[in-house]
Amino acid sequence: MQTISPLNAKALAALYDTDLYAWANTNADLLRQGKYEQMDVAHLIEEIEDMGKNDQRSLASHLRNLLMHLLKWQYQSDIRSQSWQSSVINSRLEIDQLLQDSPSLRVRLPQLLLTEYVAARRLASVETQLPMKTFPTDCDYNLQQVLDQDWLPG
């Protein structure tokens, strides 16, 4: 792996804006070598914080997708498909993996269930072409049901 030897911390900080891959590899090398004073600490802090935010956004996205497919499953029972069921299974697996990797995200699930249901309801309406009023305003599913690998509504 080729990395750039920074002349100083300022040059490394500038690299952050022009080549994130090289910046990350250079900081990793400096960390391995114990050259902490040469590292771009300010941007490292931002990146570490962003890692947590990315996991939370990913959890929200998978939960939204899962809720949308549960709504479709429940309210279009006459055209249920293996594809929908596969999407439900995949979303649950992704959520489970995220929670295994970052168990502290579990405390965010009750709030995410509320906020992501609003978006999932809208998406389900668009995908099914059913009016919004078809779907309950508040989520009828509890968190245990939503995450249960074997549960499907209706």
Q: Does the structure show a pLDDT above 80 at 5?
A: no
Q: What is the pTM for the complete model shown?
A: 0.80
Q: Does the structure show a pLDDT above 60 at 7?
A: no
The first and second tokens of residue 24, run together, are 């990350």
Q: Does the structure show a pLDDT above 70 at 131?
A: yes
Q: Does the structure show a pLDDT above 80 at 77?
A: yes
Give the mean pLDDT of 106-135: 97
What is the rounded distance in angstroms from the CA atom of residue 117 to the CA atom of residue 137?
Answer: 9
The first and second tokens of residue 121, run together, are 């309801």
Question: pLDDT tens-digit profile of 37-58?
Answer: 899 999 999 999 888 899 999 9
58, 112 in Cβ contact below 8 A?
A: no
pLDDT at 6: 45
> How far are the Cα atoms of 27, 93, 100, 109, 142 from residue 105, in angstroms, in the given order?
27, 15, 9, 7, 17
